[in-house]
Amino acid sequence: MNSLPNRGEFLGHPKGLFLLFGTEMWERFGYYGMRAILVLYLVAQVQNGGFGWTNADALSLYGTFTMAVYLTPLFGGWLADNVLGQRKAIIIGGILMAAGHFIMGIPHSVVAGQEENVFYIGLTLLCIGNGLFKPNISTMVGDLYEEGDKRRDGAFTIFYMGINLGGALGPIVAGYVASEINWQAGFVAAGVGMVISVVMQMLLSKKYLGDIGVVPSAKLSQQQSESGTKEPLTKIEKDRIRVIFTMSVFSIIFWMGFEQAGGLMNLFANDYTNRVLMGFEIPASWFQSLNSIFIIIFAPIVAMIWLKLDKREPNSPVKFAIGLVFLALGFLTMMFALMTESAAPGGTLQISMMWLVLFYLFHTLGELCLSPIGLSMVSKLAPLRLASLLMGIWFLCTAVANKIAGFVGSFIGEGQEAMNNAMGIFIGLGATALISALAMYLLSNKLVDWMHGAEGDNEPHTQAHYLEKELEVSGERQ
C-alpha cells in the first residue's frame, strides 16, 4: 500500500493536492495554448509563417490529432499500471510533450525544406506524451486520502479548477504571443508551461507525495487478489453495460458538435468575426478560453441547481438530452448570426463576437449537463472487473467524435463560399443534436430500468458531491 505523506495541510487539504493542482494547470496551459493556435497556424499563408494549407486539410489533421489525444491514454494508462508507475509516466510524458512544443516552435528558416516533417515529429511527441500524462495524474489525487475521507470530493473540485484555470490562460498567452511575434513563439510559450509542470513534479513530488504513484498499481493490487476465478456476468450487469454502450454512442453526437470549437469555430473567429473592441483586435485564439472560463463560473451554479431540485432532479439520460439541446442552441445561435449580420465593406460577412460568446456559453452549459454524467455513469454501472475496459470505451467514443468533428468541419470550404457551407453545417449539427435529444428522452425510462437502482436516492446529495462531478469530468475530457 502507498504511505500517505505527512507534510501538513493548506486550506484543509494535503499540500500534495496543490502540487498536483499546479502540475495539471501548467500542463493544460501548454496543451490548450498549443491547440488554440494549431489550426490558425496551418492555414496561415507561408509568407506569414504558416503552411498555407486549405481549411479542409487543416481541420482533417486537427480531427486526427484530437482523436489520438483520446486514444493514447489507453496505452499510457496500461503502461503506468503495469510497468512505469504513475510518477514516472507523468514525468516522461511531460518531457515528451515539452519537447513536442519546442520542436513545433523551431523557426522555419532553421529547418528549411523540412518544415512539415519537423512539425509532424512535434505533434507525434505531444500525442505520446499526452498518453502517458493524462490518465495518471488524476488518479493520484484520490490516493492522497484515506478510504472514506470526506475531503475527497472537495479535493477533486480544487484540482479541476486548476485544469480550467490552465485551459483559460493558455490560449490567451500563447495566442497573444503568436499574434504579436510569430507562430513558433506561440508554441514555445506553450512549451514553457509544460516545462514548469515537469519541474514542479521532479523537485517537489518526493516531499509532498511520498511514495504515491511510484510502484505500478498492478503490483500493489496483486497482493490484494487472492482468487483468479472469474464469475460470468449477471443479467443486471449486462443491462448496465447496455446503458453504458447506449449513452457512449449518444456522446459521440455531442462531442462531434462540441469539438468544432478548436477547428471550424477557430477559423470562423479568425476569418468571419469582427474582433475589434475599443480599437484593440482580439486574437481569434482567445475565444478558446471561453469554455474554461464559463466552466469556472457556471459549474457551481449548475451544481446548486441540481441540489435545489433534490428529488425532482432529472435522471442521467434526461440530463444527456438537456445537454444535447444546449448543443443545438449553440448552432442555432450561429444560424441567427449568419442570417442577421450584414457584410463588411469588402463584401465578406463579419459577425459580432457576441454571437461566438453565446455559442460557447450554450455549449459549456451543455457540457455541464452531459459530461459529468459520463464518467460518473461508467463508475456507477460498470462491473468492477470491467471498469477500466468500459471507461476506455467511453474515451474511445470521444476519440471517434473528434475525428468525425474534423471531417464535418472540413466541408467549410474557402472564402465567401464558406458562409453558405457554414450554414449547412450548423443546420446539420443542430438538427442532429435535437433529434438525438428527443431519442435519448424517449429512451430515458428504459435506460433507468436497465440501471437497476443505480439512479436511486442512495447517492450522496451534497453540494460538494455535485460540484466535484461537474468539474471532474470536464477535466477528464480536457
User: Which of 16 and 228 is assigned the larger pLDDT?
Assistant: 16
Collect all residues with Cβ–Cβ distance below 8 Å to 270 and sequence separation of at least 6. Answer: 40, 284
Binning pLDDT at 50, 70 and 90, where does residue 147 land?
low
* Helices 15-43, 86-104: crossing angle, 10 deg rounding: 30
Which of these ranges, 17-21, 117-121, 215-219, 410-414, has the smallest mean pLDDT? 215-219
For residue 53, pLDDT beyond 60: yes
In CATH, which of 1.10.3470.10, 1.10.540.10, 1.20.1250.20, 3.30.70.270 is domain 12-217? 1.20.1250.20
Type and span of the H or E element at 200: helix 183-209
> What's the residue count for the chain?
478
Two domains, one topology: 12-217 and 234-453: yes
- Residue found by looking up cell 459549456 in the block: 364
Which of these ranges, 95-99, 224-228, 299-303, has the smallest mean pLDDT? 224-228
Domain ranges of the chain: 12-217, 234-453
Which of these ranges, 11-20, 86-95, 107-116, has the smallest mean pLDDT? 11-20
- Residue 10's SS3 state is strand
Which of these ranges, 154-168, 172-186, 328-342, 402-416, has the smallest mean pLDDT? 154-168
Alpha helices (H) in 144-182, listed in sequence order: 152-180
User: Which of 162 and 351 is assigned the larger pLDDT?
Assistant: 351
Binning pLDDT at 50, 70 and 90, where does residue 124 land?
very high
For residue 459, pLDDT beyond 50: no
CA 83 to chain centre: 26
Buried b (16+ CB within 10 A) or exposed e, 286-310: bbbbbbbbbbbebbbebbeebbeee
389 by Cβ neighbours in 10 Å (0-12 / 13-18 / 19+) ranks as exposed
234-453: CATH superfamily: MFS general substrate transporter like domains (1.20.1250.20)
Residue 134 has which C-alpha cell? 493524462
- Mean pLDDT over 462-478 rounds to 53
CA within 13 Å, CB half, 208? 22
Binning pLDDT at 50, 70 and 90, where does residue 394 land?
confident
pLDDT confidence of residue 460: 46
Contact 28, 166 (CB under 8 A): yes
Collect all residues with Cβ–Cβ distance below 8 Å to 253 and sequence separation of at least 6. Answer: 324, 327, 401, 432, 433, 436
Distance CA 34, CA 18 (A): 24
